Amino acid sequence: MSTVAEIKEAIDRLSFEERCELMALLSPDDDWDREMRADAAAGKFAGLIEEAEAERRAGTLREFPKPYKT
């Protein structure tokens, strides 16, 4: 069996997509996740999307922060 240190090293070698897949496996949907998906489907984030799109068009969109790495 692998040690925690070995598992951490293996995770560090995963691609972004593979990490997302692992996170989905380890963190099954909860009520908050389902509510966020329902809100997105209902268009509740349209204002935020338009604001980001306006910043992109104006050239003032900031870089998304890099993921925290321990």
Q: How confident is the prediction along the chain (70 residues), in pLDDT tens digits per residue?
A: 579 999 999 999 999 989 988 988 888 788 888 899 899 999 999 999 999 999 999 999 888 888 776 6
pLDDT at site 7: 92
pTM over 0.95: no
Tokens of 30: 């909860």
Report residue 3: phi and psi, to 5°: -85, 165
CA–CA dist 38, 22 (Å, integer): 23
Quote the DSSP letter at residue 32. Answer: H
Helix (H) or strand (E) holding 21: helix 16-26
pLDDT at site 1: 55
**Residue closest to 20 by CA, chosen among 63, 70, 62, 67:** 67
Residue 8 carries which side chain, given as an amino acid letter?
K
